[in-house]
Amino acid sequence: MICPDVRGYGRSDKPPTDPEHRPYSKRAAAGDIAALLTRLGHERFAVVGHDRGSYVALRVALDHPDRIAALVEIDCIPISEHLARADDRFATAWWHWFFFAQPEKPERAINADPISWYRPDRETMGEQNYQEWAAAVGNPTTVKAMLEDYRAGLTLDRADEEADRAAGRMVRCPTLVLWSTHDDLEELYGDPLQIWQSWATDVQGHGIDSGHHVAEENPGDLSAALIEFLGTRYRPQGLHGSAG
């Protein structure tokens, strides 16, 4: 199992951006994942993504279909689907998407006191994880890179997904969709599978009894779902997990 930080996050590289945010597009991050797996000797692999990592996982599956044997999306629908359905409930709950898209202001707000901004649960995270996280968000370069990910989401990534739809491109590998039943995905959209059925030809999934941070809050049920799906639908040569 290979679990890299997505481009810009944690200890991963943080290349200079450009006015279009192209270095932080999901296409660029997906290229990183494909190159990494090639370097490690895995030509075919499964990809698992949560939250921001799920958008990268989707782009890996769409841009490198011959290499992806299985896809798992956790707490996610495509970015373009979120935006197409954006209403007052979405804007209230997901306001940070639009704030992060603004130039300079979010950097100033977050870097003034990143611990207070993100309000981490130190006990749930565990001390080692907390210290790793605190070092990352205490670095203004990391904060800038994470914001660029969101800025690319509302521009390039949305456009890339819409181009996929217009061209009739779909995920062709077996796809598992999981979501946290105490988060807001069902509240906003009903059954997420109904949305994913127009993006993937072979999709299944279910909710998990958890809040948004499912890997920390319910690792048992999440692991069981991944093992069952990957064990029956995919015989791993290599497995990449991308968690956002």
Active site residue 51: yes
CB distance 26 to 59 below 8 Å: yes
Strands (E), 4-123: 45-50, 68-74
What's the confidence (pLDDT) of residue 234? 63
Active site residue 50: no
Catalytic pick among 191, 212, 213, 221: 212
**Domain limits, the chain:** 22-243
- The reply to whether the predicted model has a pTM over 0.85 is yes
pLDDT beneath 70: ranges in the chain: 233-244
Catalytic pick among 5, 32, 42, 51: 51
CATH architecture of 22-243: 3-Layer(aba) Sandwich (3.40)
| N-to-C CA span, the chain | 16
The Cα 50–Cα 69 span in angstroms is 18
Half-sphere exposure of 36 (CA within 13 A, CB side): 23
What's the confidence (pLDDT) of residue 44? 94
What's the confidence (pLDDT) of residue 125? 86
What's the confidence (pLDDT) of residue 52? 96
